[in-house]
């Protein structure tokens, strides 16, 4: 059964990442927010410290784990670490070397050989296209087999870390007429002829992270660089299962993105309460609800919303660690945390008035950064649709 309290190991991880965030990320927050697309060289040292501290966290000795034991492993460690780092700065975390979302895809569905080969890579995810956003089944980028190679053609946009990454995980179709059954993921190494970063996007938030458009023009990659099997399913049930395998990536990446929203919302709450305390507004849990001021009542409500979202994230991660299907829970935590993060950070700006809106404090930046966390890895509306399908037992064709 899931424990609602953090283990000693994970509490230490949260404390350590918060310390890194406070002393090695926050001091550079405003600098790289203003210098959009500038490479945050200071984050290289942070990345080294994280890689060093990651060893042993979330790993279990199988000989020490009795059969049926509850596991708090790599997924739980990931969401807790991200909460601490994104309490510091979401954009700097996303711009940090080696933090690409494509790594989660390779770890989720890659072969042992692929996982070993790209273990130290910086992998970005290439899904969105000019005509395809939330409808992942509408991918138009093509992959054609040619001897011992695949040939990729198409365009991807809004690729997080698309310029700085050294590896890309590209969604492409083997046959557009077969719909989602023919969609596969492919590993493309940057520098491969025919793969080109064509532009960088200017954004409202996470400005320290590059967001790129990438084209593939007769881009040839080795045949073994496909994630999963190259066979296209022939029956309806097999096609559903095949696309489900591709979509499994999101079950692994949505809880971490939700935890990023937990981190930035916590940052906004902490800073807002610090600023409001100077005006003699502070939380006193000994007060009864009827004795609270309007601002105090709002702070309590936001704290409750934050805690609810955090518990949903931990449950989804815990289920993944314990080999339980978590697709519904992954979407639930992403929907809840994304919406909560937007609402809490913006309300903290409003409660702190001119201090919240000005660049003298980081509250306005927290609000801008939080917006993307409700959009990428599946929008709020898509998450609710996924949850509704699972609760009602409906297929994607039955409930759109």
Domain containing residue 209: CATH number: 2.40.110.10
CATH code assigned at 288: 1.20.140.10
Encode the chain (400 residues) as per-residue pLDDT tens digits. 567 788 899 999 999 999 999 999 999 999 999 999 899 999 999 988 887 766 554 444 444 555 666 677 888 999 999 999 999 999 999 988 876 788 878 887 889 999 999 988 999 999 999 988 777 778 999 999 999 999 999 999 999 999 999 999 999 999 988 888 889 999 999 999 999 999 999 999 999 999 999 999 999 999 999 998 887 755 555 555 555 555 666 787 899 999 999 999 999 999 999 999 998 888 887 888 778 889 999 999 999 999 999 999 999 999 998 989 999 999 999 999 999 999 999 999 999 999 999 999 999 999 999 999 999 888 999 999 999 999 999 988 888 8
Co-location of 36 and 84 in the same domain: yes
The answer to the question of residue 3 being in a domain is: no
Co-location of 380 and 250 in the same domain: yes
CATH code assigned at 55: 1.10.540
Co-location of 328 and 362 in the same domain: yes
Beta strand pairing call for 167-173 and 211-222:
unpaired
Co-location of 172 and 262 in the same domain: no
Co-location of 243 and 360 in the same domain: yes
Catalytic entry in 113, 231, 377, 398: 377
The domain boundary, picked from 233, 251, 284, lies at 233
The domain boundary, picked from 109, 135, 164, lies at 109
Co-location of 99 and 144 in the same domain: no
Judge whether 246 and 137 are in contact, CB under 8 Å. Answer: no
Co-location of 227 and 304 in the same domain: no
4 three-state secondary structure: coil
| Domain housing 163 | 121-233
- Cα-based distances in Å from 296 to 25, 153, 282, 301, 345: 30, 55, 7, 9, 16
Burial of 201 (0-12, 13-18, 19+ CB in 10 A): middle
The answer to the question of residue 299 being in a domain is: yes
Neighbours of 127 (CB within 10 A): 24
Co-location of 242 and 345 in the same domain: yes
The answer to the question of residue 65 being in a domain is: yes
Judge whether 370 and 293 are in contact, CB under 8 Å. Answer: no
Question: Is 296 labeled as catalytic in the residue annotation?
Answer: no
Co-location of 94 and 27 in the same domain: yes
DSSP conformational letter for 129 = B
Co-location of 251 and 377 in the same domain: yes
The answer to the question of residue 61 being in a domain is: yes
Domain count of the chain? Answer: 3
The domain boundary, picked from 233, 262, 280, lies at 233
310 three-state secondary structure: helix
User: Which residues, in sequence order, are bridge partners of residue 4?
Assistant: none
């Amino acid at each position: 059964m899931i424990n609602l309290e953090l283990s000693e190991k994970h509490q230490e991880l949260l404390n350590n990442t918060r310390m890194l965030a406070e002393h090695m990320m926050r001091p550079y927050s405003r600098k790289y927010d203003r210098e959009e697309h500038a490479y945050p060289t200071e984050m290289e040292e942070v990345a080294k410290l994280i890689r060093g501290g990651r060893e042993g966290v979330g790993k279990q000795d199988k000989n020490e784990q009795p059969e049926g034991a509850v596991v708090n492993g790599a997924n739980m460690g990931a969401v807790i670490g991200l909460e601490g780092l994104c309490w510091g700065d979401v954009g700097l975390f996303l711009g940090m070397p080696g933090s690409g979302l494509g790594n989660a895809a390779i770890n989720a569905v890659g072969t042992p050989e692929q996982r070993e080969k790209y273990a130290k890579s910086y992998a970005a995810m290439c899904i969105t296209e000019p005509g395809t956003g939330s409808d992942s089944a509408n991918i138009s980028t093509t992959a054609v087999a040619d001897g011992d190679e695949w040939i990729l053609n198409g365009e991807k946009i809004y690729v997080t870390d698309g310029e700085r990454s050294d590896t890309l995980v590209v969604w492409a179709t083997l046959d557009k007429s077969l719909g989602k059954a023919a969609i596969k993921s492919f590993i493309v190494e940057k520098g491969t002829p025919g793969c080109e970063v064509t532009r960088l996007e200017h954004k409202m938030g996470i400005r320290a992270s590059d967001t790129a458009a990438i084209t593939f023009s007769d881009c040839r990659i080795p045949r073994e660089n496909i994630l999963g099997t190259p066979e296209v399913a022939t029956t309806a049930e097999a096609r559903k299962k095949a696309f489900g395998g591709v979509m499994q990536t999101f079950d692994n990446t949505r809880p971490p993105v939700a935890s990023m929203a937990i981190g930035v919302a916590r940052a906004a709450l902490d800073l807002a309460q610090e600023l409001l305390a100077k005006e003699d507004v502070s939380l006193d849990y000994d007060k009864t609800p009827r004795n609270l001021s309007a601002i105090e009542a709002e702070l309590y409500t936001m704290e409750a919303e934050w805690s609810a979202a955090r518990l949903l994230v931990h449950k989804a991660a815990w289920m993944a660690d314990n080999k339980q299907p978590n697709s519904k829970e992954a979407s639930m935590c992403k929907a809840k945390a994304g919406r909560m993060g937007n609402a809490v950070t913006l309300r903290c700006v409003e409660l702190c008035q001119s201090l919240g809106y000005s660049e003298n404090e980081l509250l306005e930046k927290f609000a801008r950064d939080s917006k993307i966390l409700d959009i990428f890895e599946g929008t709020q509306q898509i998450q609710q649709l996924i949850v509704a399908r699972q609760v009602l037992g409906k297929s994607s064709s039955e409930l759109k």
